[in-house]
Structure 1
Amino acid sequence: MNAHPKEIWEQCLNIIKGETTEVSFNTWIKSITPISIENDTFMLTVPNDLTKGILSNKYTDLIIRALQMVTSQKYNVKFLISSELPEEFLTLDTINEQNIKGSIIVTDEMSAMLNPKYTFTSFVIGNSNRFAHAASLAVAESPAKAYNPLFIYGGVGLGKTHLMHAIGHHILHNNTSCKVVYVSSEKFTNELINSIKDDKNVEFRSKYRNIDVLLIDDIQFIAGKERTQEEFFHTFNALYEANKQIILSSDRPPKEIPTLEDRLRSRFEWGLIADIQPPDFETRMAILKKKADVEKLNIPNEVMAYIATKIKSNIRELEGALIRIVAFSSLTNKEISVDLAIEALKDIISSGQSKQVTIELIQDVVSNYYNLKVSDFKSSRRTRNVAFPRQIAMYLCRKLTDMSLPKIGEEFGGRDHTTVIHAYEKISNNLKKDESLKNAVNDLTKRLDQQ
């Protein structure tokens, strides 16, 4: 049968629909996109790893049977995650289909694949990320003319990588001949090491300096790596002097990255620094609704509200909880409800809550531990019985929260961020040699986990 994979799949859907529940069909089967036929294998793309696992374990035989009924041939089935799609599967048909859907396809001009799901269209804007989004869009609209470099920082899972990919997609969409490279700092370091080992320094420098846009994720990881910092310093200078755009992301602002060379720190601050904070409730709800729409999931509002109330600090955890509930519903054949959500998330909600440590909570627990008042931490008192517990509290705030040093200092009576750095370094050093301090910090950490 010489029919197009899409035509074959449309006929298969009619067969599969009659052999599955409505929930299972809408949740799992409808998420599949046919991509090509390679010899005796029918290639299908799915949105994520969870869907791939469910389909592989529960629906492979059913899909194979449906294919055989439609084509009179026995095909094997292979599931590919759409964001990890190898270039050889980007056929003209799939490119056209994805363009119709509004996705931007990564072209061969890019040295590294961008996630097709991470675009400005799919990014949910809220008070916590509005500035970073606006800055990213400005850079994407006018590379090397708006802000150069653009430095985006924030905690894990808040959308930094999403914005980085979105910038790359937008630039390529507007100018397909533009040379854009997206890379993690870890990959940059590994490629540098290999280039030294294989005596390919010229090729390495050519790759990263003869481009129009460089996006480096998690730049904080080059701290402490002298040779990497040296190489990146010269790469930065070459691109900047050639009026090429540089975008960097980190889990903290440049001034808070330890063992980062001052010459790099100052360059990171030349352009615009934009932060992303944890999303508020309204933004968390919007993120969940967006995810449900994209994945074509029918989730009651009260279930999304339950998730948004329980998971506050991490977008990945939010979306993961939603998918977990859908999977639990499908596997147990139960309708999605708040009760089902409570049951599905009982293992991760408790651990998620224990991670939700705030500055206020730390101040409260540490002050009680040392028989002090929270107001003592915010006062100007410098006696050891107040100053040392205050330093421990600052250390724990730096260790257990995503708050910036200036924010921590502000919550301790408006102290300067350098005071927080001093407290963190002092406690860190003392922990290596003071057993009683180590026991106290461990005890405090356990108490915070139990809150």
Structure 2
Amino acid sequence: MQYTKEHFAAWEKAMNMFKNDLNPTSFATWFETLRLNAVRQDAIIIEADNSMIVNNLRQRYLTIMSNVFGATFGRVYDIEIYTREELERQVKEISSTMLNPRYTFDNFVVGASNSFAHAAALAVAEQPRGAAYNPLFIYGGVGLGKTHLMNAIGNFIRANDPQANVLFITSETFTNELIDAIVKKKGTAELRNKMRNVDVLLVDDIQFLSKTVATQEEFFHTFNDLHTKGKQIIVSSDRSPKDLSAIEERLRSRFEWGLPVDVQKPDFETRVAILRRKADDEEIDTPTEVLEYIAERVESNIRELEGALTRVNAQSQLMGKPIALEMARETLSSLLSTREARKITAESIIQLVSSHFSVGEDEVVGKRRSREVALPRQVSMYMLRELTPLSTTAIGRVFKRDHSTVMHACDKIAGTMKTDIRFRKTVEELIEFAKRR
């Protein structure tokens, strides 16, 4: 099982919704025997008893399922349904690479915000043994296409050189495998053999690499070993190398040896193109005015953009009506803010956080370091990084501090949220309130 207790609770809630909304025969025939197999970074994997159920769900219920699971899981996922035999076959096929075959250069929409990163990724894929861009470091916000580009590189290389040894791994998986090897006293030889005998290593979300000395030491030597042998390394992160405050300086400097490229939020034209690609790929008959309406209002990331279209399509199927502008307005009214809605600014966040913690706004941006002031200041910095396009340097200017202080504050809040459920809920509620204001 590759999912958490929270994932399973969301799954059960979704199944109850299907049971209540569908007629008893449909639910018993198509949904009752489904099993949650895994929840990955971008997809919910579902196991069905036979291919007839799989085919019917894919043809008739996929967008409805995406909408319901999006509601219970709290974000939009792709829905993938397979028989047990298909899942077992997939494990055998991808276990050596861990690449997602759905992500290719062909279905990556290029725009002004990502054209340089796309060009660099394609250049590396075409000449993975070249030394010019090694490592290639791709950074940018959540849901902007970094993982897509990483997988596209790996899939392109494998398609053109089936014998190439390509490994895609998240930094979290690397950390967990290293810890597992140490705890079970297996030694790290097996992990080293796996990591260092590849032609291409792709490491996703390097910002989550454990802060422990042993983990960073192991990755440092793995990096050096591969780089010395001329093997291609590609790394992704949600921030630039210099902003990875939890990563040792010697590793950060190596990430800058090659070519750091950033992926920015897509502009309006690119957002429309992304929606058009999704509509065409999934055969969703969507008027251009609806695509433009969504693109005008969802600027944050590609996942939310595509999720809005999925929601409109699900409503269309449930109501048995074609997609139209008025339907999109009604369906997304509770989800999207209009262009006239109040923008999230540093001032609005500081005001919100100050009010919640009962401290003065001038104290939050002031010099006092007592806990009753430091905590709301750090929460404000964290929210600004999560909710605005401001760089850590720009956020630092708001509080008259440098960018390293901001990075430390954000890492501290993120760490506390992982261990303190009540605090995490408080911060998440503040974030949601800031979005609705």
TM-score (norm 2): 0.68
Change (3 A) 1:251 1:421: closer
Structure 2 CA distance for aligned equivalents of residues 262 and 192 of structure 1: 21
**Residue 349 (structure 1) shift:** 2.0
Distance 1:349 1:81, change over 3 A: farther
Give the structure 1 partner of residue 295 of structure 2: 308
Aligned twin of 2:89: 88
Cα deviation, residue 418, structure 1: 4.5
State the partner residue of 1:185: 171
1:322 counterpart SS class? helix
Counterpart of 1:249 in 2: which secondary structure?
strand
What per-residue deviation string (whole Å, max 9, x for no partner) do you get for residues 204-234 of structure 1? Answer: 1111100100111111111413322121111
Residue 128, structure 1, aligned to residue 113, structure 2: yes
2:277 aligned partner: 290
- State the alpha-carbon separation in 1 of the partners of residues 89 and 96 from structure 2: 15
Identity %: 51
Q: How many residues align?
A: 357
Aligned to 1:13: none
When residues 316 and 49 of structure 1 are mapped into structure 2, their CA distance, relative to the original with a 3 A threshold, is farther
Within a 5 Å distance, the mapping from 1:312-351 to structure 2 comes to 312-349=299-336
Residues 351 and 361, structure 2, Cα contact 8 Å, conserved in 1: no
Q: Distance in 2 between matches of 1:195 and 1:206?
A: 13
Q: CA, structure 1 residues 371+264, in 2 after alignment: closer, same or farther (shift >3 Å)?
A: closer
Shift in Å, 1:301: 0.8
Contact 1:158 1:315 in 2 (8 A): yes
Is 1:153 paired with 2:154?
A: no
Q: Deviations over 1:36-67 (max 9, x none)?
A: xx9975485699899447589xxxxxxxxxxx
Residues 361 and 282 of structure 1, relative CA distance in 2, 3 Å threshold: farther
Shift of 1:448: 3.6
Which of 213, 219, 238 is residue 226 of structure 1 equivalent to? 213
The Cα of 1:353 is off from its aligned counterpart by 11
CA pair 426-156 structure 1, distance change in 2 beyond 3 A: closer
Q: 5+ unaligned residues in a row in structure 2: which ranges?
A: 1-47, 67-79, 369-373, 416-426
- Work out which of the two has the higher radius of gyration on C-alpha atoms and give 1 or 2: 1
2:282 and 2:247 mapped to 1: Cα distance?
41
Structure-2 separation of matches of 1:49 and 1:218 = 34
In 2, are the aligned partners of 1:171 and 1:178 still within 8 Å (CA)? yes
Q: Give the aligned CA root-mean-square deviation in angstroms.
A: 4.5
**Unmatched runs of 5 consecutive residues or more in structure 1:** 1-37, 57-78, 91-106, 430-440
Q: What is the rounded CA distance, in whole Å, between the counterparts of 2:219 and 2:59 in structure 1?
A: 34
Alpha-carbon separation, structure 1, partners of 2:295 and 2:325 = 12
Q: Structure 1: which amino acid aligns with 2:261? A: A
Contact 1:154/1:277 (CA < 8 Å) preserved in 2?
yes
> Shift in Å at residue 297 of structure 1?
1.3
Change over 3 Å in CA distance of 1:201–1:416 after alignment to 2: closer
TM-score, length of structure 1 as denominator length: 0.66
Change (3 A) 1:322 1:395: closer
* 2:98 is aligned with 1:113: yes
Q: Residue 168 of structure 1: which of 147, 154, 163 is its match?
A: 154
Offset from partner CA, 1:74-95 (integer Å, 9 cap, x none): xxxxx8359x9636269xxxxx
Between the aligned partners of 2:59 and 2:87, the Cα distance in structure 1 is 16
CA distance in structure 1 between the partners assigned to 2:403 and 2:349 by the alignment: 18
TM superposition shift of 1:352: 12
Listed as ranges, the matches of 1:135-146 within 5 Å are 135-145=120-130, 146=132
Distance 1:352 1:123, change over 3 A: farther
The within-5 A match list for 1:209-224 is: 209-224=196-211
> 2: CA distance between counterparts of 1:328 and 1:394?
38
| Cα contact 2:158–2:166 (8 A) shared by 1 | yes
CA contact (8 A) 1:355 1:449 kept: no
Counterpart CA distance in 2 for 1:428 and 1:190 is: 19
Of the three residues 231, 234, 237, the one matched with 1:247 is: 234
